[in-house]
Structure 1
Amino acid sequence: MSEPQTFVYSTVNECEIRLDLYLPAAHVSQVAPLPVVLFFHGGGVFRGSRKSILPELKDAALSKNWAFISADYRLLLPSTGFDILTDIAALCTFLSTLPTIDTTRILVAGHSGGAYVARQAAIHGTPRPRAFFSVSGQGGHLLNPAYFTPKPYLQKKLLGTYKKYSTRNSAEFLGLKVCSDFPWDWQEKRGKKATGEVPEIGSRTWLSSMASVTGARLDFLTGKQGFSKMLLEAYSKDNEVDLAALVPQDLKILFPELMIGKEFPPSFVLHGTGDKNVVMRESEKTVKELERMDVECEFVAAENWGHGWSAETRHKPNL
């Protein structure tokens, strides 16, 4: 079927968190529940929508008589990684109520920032997904200086008139509300200058860039102001410091690289060598951890590829 069924799988305050369910044409005569690809969209975990899918992955699933689900999740600021974990739990509970879905046969997938959510679902989902697929995935190496080091030299290039917000980046100041669906339209807005109060579209669209420039991304993820600064100060004194040892026990659950174990599902990890949005060492770190745990994993470094996946690629997971 071409049009999905849309469900609200959780409501937080007044924020309805939705998923789109696509079913194969043969589902009408299908008696047994279907295996499913559960997909999480990109957007740096700050923006994006379930409408932003990888069509090739959806088509591959449907052609094999699988279902395909694209799910929203709460976006960072004012929400945190803890809220995303709550959304994953709510999503798993909701999926168990759908008679068309076999929750024992879930392949969880994500593109860009959505791969962080997919990693968390692969680790904390109940029942645990049977496979994991990452495309240009973020979240494999969060304890990386690139995430907690300020980049003032990029401020003018990336932020323009948003420069004044680089030192005041709270959700309250930016006027952000709990949000789980923020479609991509940054290409339309990025050339326009902000005047007066920052509109919702401007603030959230530029939030990922601002987080990079200020080195505050991990503060947003954890909800702990000063966490990034603490890592930076330790790393500045000794660049061989064990950053993992500095993460408080209650925050470790937000870092997939610290939580991967032997129970992590078999994985297919795809990353372009020319990706300028998410560096390939994010995927390499995940693959290294999976290999250390003896988890089956196929890693493809797609030569000269950028930040995405296309129908023409020969690099496809064997569903």
Structure 2
Amino acid sequence: MAIRPHIKHTHVYTTHQATDLHLDVYITQPVEPKIPKPIILWLHGGYLITGSRNAIPKWLLNYAIAHQWPLVSPDYRVLPESTGFHTIEDVLSAYTWVAQSLNQLHPECRADPTRIIVAGASAGGWCALVSALHFSTPVDTIPSPCALFLLYPMTDPGSEKWAQSVSLPGATVDPDTARDLLEDIPRRIARGDISLGEEFPKSEEELRTRKRLPLLYAILEKGVFLDYLTGVVGFGQKVLSGGLTEAVEERAKQLFPLDSGEFGSSFPPTVVVHGTADGEISCGESVKLVKKLEEVGVGVQYLPVPGADHVFDLELEECPLAEGDSEEPGAVLSRALQALRGYANE
């Protein structure tokens, strides 16, 4: 099945150094035009280095269209040309646009800005988590998210794993290419280059044309991911030698939600889905988040997918209503969507 019929509108939501950042708004003509609908703000994955706003799970987009929920997917600045601070700034700007401008520009979609679900996969889950923590201090003019939906999220970049060399399953880059890519990064930063990521490949032929994936592999294998997340050379080594607490300064604490986030009972209800055999981002990161939320009384549902790896949902197009206790990926995702409907008062 293809994507259900819909209308896509594209807008510029912010600009940095003459680089426009866009977001796509997916809407349908409402069958019930007088009934306000929840909004999904979708944040793509890609280790904060690659990916694009087009990387929306088919099953999620089809669900949003079928239920007449507007779905918004923005660009955001990525590493290593930018830092995690820039990513957070963009994600919050996109959230503000959704809360303040979506209904003004598209009144036909009947979006309810008091019911924004912030959702993200992998590194997009990190984006969703840090943006929700921003609202731990209420913002008078902008409603807080009504729920979070985190799909195999990166939640714990402060752990030692991300401070040292990481080799992704099946991902390789030859040493000479890695060296050239890493040596070019300081020049990109000095020029003030901005990257918004890159489309994920859909075939082996496309894979050979991609430039961001080898850069991603080189950064992870060199063990400098945290250096570029924080903008501090040698940050990862400081974490390994003295721990995150010794390495992190006050401003950078927002980049490490599990270690420094101020979770409280007002944190939005959260649904987390993670494969138990994830070879890229351990489901243990999700378990740590769920435990922290449970400790402070936040409504949270953790739905593990037995034996599933990272991006286990890539080929799914629909999530039919789950019956019984099936542990098939589509059934687990269907239960997750039902939980979100409850949190969004649908």
TM-score range, shorter-chain basis? 0.7 to 0.9
Map 1:65-214; keep pairs closer than 5 Å. 65-95=68-98, 96-99=100-103, 100=107, 101-124=111-134, 126-138=142-154, 140-150=155-165, 158-160=172-174, 161-165=176-180, 168=183, 170-172=185-187, 177-185=193-201, 187-188=204-205, 201-202=210-211, 204-214=212-222
The offset of 1:20, in angstroms, is 0.9
Letter in 1 for 2:251: D
Alignment equivalent of 1:306, drawn from 309, 334, 338: 309
SS of 2:51 mapped into structure 1:
coil
Q: Distance in 1 between matches of 2:214 and 2:42?
A: 24
The offset of 1:168, in angstroms, is 3.2
Q: Distance in 1 between matches of 2:11 and 2:143?
A: 20
Q: Distance in 1 between matches of 2:65 and 2:21?
A: 24
Q: 1:51 to 1:190 in 2, by over 3 A?
A: closer
Give the gaps of 5 or more residues in structure 1.
193-200, 236-242
The offset of 1:169, in angstroms, is 6.1
SS of 1:127 mapped into structure 2:
coil
Q: 1:190 to 1:49 in 2, by over 3 A?
A: closer
1:61 maps to 2:64: yes
4+ residue runs over 6 A deviation = none
Contact 1:16 1:180 survives alignment (8 Å): no
Aligned match of 1:315: 332
* TM-score, normalised via structure 2 length: 0.79
Q: 1:233 to 1:59 in 2, by over 3 A?
A: same
Contact 1:15 1:179 survives alignment (8 Å): no
Bigger mean CA offset, 71-80 vs 88-97? 88-97
Aligned match of 1:247: 248
Q: 1:157 to 1:5 in 2, by over 3 A?
A: closer
Q: 1:275 to 1:211 in 2, by over 3 A?
A: same
Q: Distance in 1 between matches of 2:152 and 2:144?
A: 22
Bigger mean CA offset, 163-172 vs 177-186? 163-172
SS of 1:128 mapped into structure 2:
coil
Q: Distance in 1 between matches of 2:62 and 2:10?
A: 18
Report how many aligned residue pairs link the two structures: 299
Aligned match of 1:261: 263
Q: 1:75 to 1:166 in 2, by over 3 A?
A: closer
Q: Percent identity?
A: 28
Deviations 1:136-184 (CA, angstroms, capped at 9, x unpaired)? 111x111111111135x88x97221423247636342698930224211
Letter in 1 for 2:145: P
Give the gaps of 5 or more residues in structure 2.
136-141, 320-329, 342-346
SS of 2:114 mapped into structure 1:
strand
Q: 1:250 to 1:226 in 2, by over 3 A?
A: same
1:16 maps to 2:20: yes
SS of 1:98 mapped into structure 2:
helix
The offset of 1:212, in angstroms, is 1.5
Bigger mean CA offset, 309-318 vs 47-56? 309-318
* TM-score, normalised via structure 1 length: 0.85
Contact 1:9 1:18 survives alignment (8 Å): yes
Q: Distance in 2 between matches of 1:16 and 1:171?
A: 23
Q: Distance in 2 between matches of 1:188 and 1:260?
A: 45
Q: Distance in 1 between matches of 2:310 and 2:165?
A: 23
Letter in 2 for 1:231: V
Contact 1:260 1:289 survives alignment (8 Å): no
Q: 1:252 to 1:298 in 2, by over 3 A?
A: same
Q: 1:260 to 1:159 in 2, by over 3 A?
A: farther
Q: Distance in 1 between matches of 2:306 and 2:262?
A: 27
The offset of 1:261, in angstroms, is 0.9
